Amino acid sequence: MSEDKKITREQVKHLAWLARIKIADSEESKYADEMGEILNYFRKLDEVDTEGVEPTHHVVDVVNVMREDEPEIKSAENILKIVPVKKDRFIKAPRIV
């Protein structure tokens, strides 16, 4: 395994700034250690031999079952029948300023 790399307090500050999270100075070293442990775990995963393993996008063979998307109103005349406010063949909407 590669050498463990440490996350610095400056990196934690920068990540907190990017995420718009306020972190107390006393918490920086704690988060640096925790992030370092997480990265070390991912380095261990990099060592797993995946030769010959087909990539998958779903672990479980599940497919979405959806109904066909068919419009219930098939003509402009039918749409205009249910519109509360209209002018000629147009739908009238409130003015947005």
DSSP H helices, the chain, are 9-18, 25-46, 76-82
pLDDT for position 1? 43
Give the model confidence (pLDDT) of 34-45 as tens digits.
999 999 998 898
pLDDT for position 73? 64
Record the pTM.
0.48
Q: Which domain holds residue 40?
A: 9-46
Q: Does the residue 88 lie in any domain?
A: no
Q: Does the residue 4 lie in any domain?
A: no
- Number of structural domains, the chain? 1
pLDDT for position 17? 95
Q: Does the residue 81 lie in any domain?
A: no
pLDDT for position 16? 95
Q: Does the residue 69 lie in any domain?
A: no
Q: Does the residue 68 lie in any domain?
A: no
| pLDDT < 50 positions in the chain | 1-2
How far apart, in whole angstroms, are the C-alpha atoms of residue 79 and residue 91? 9
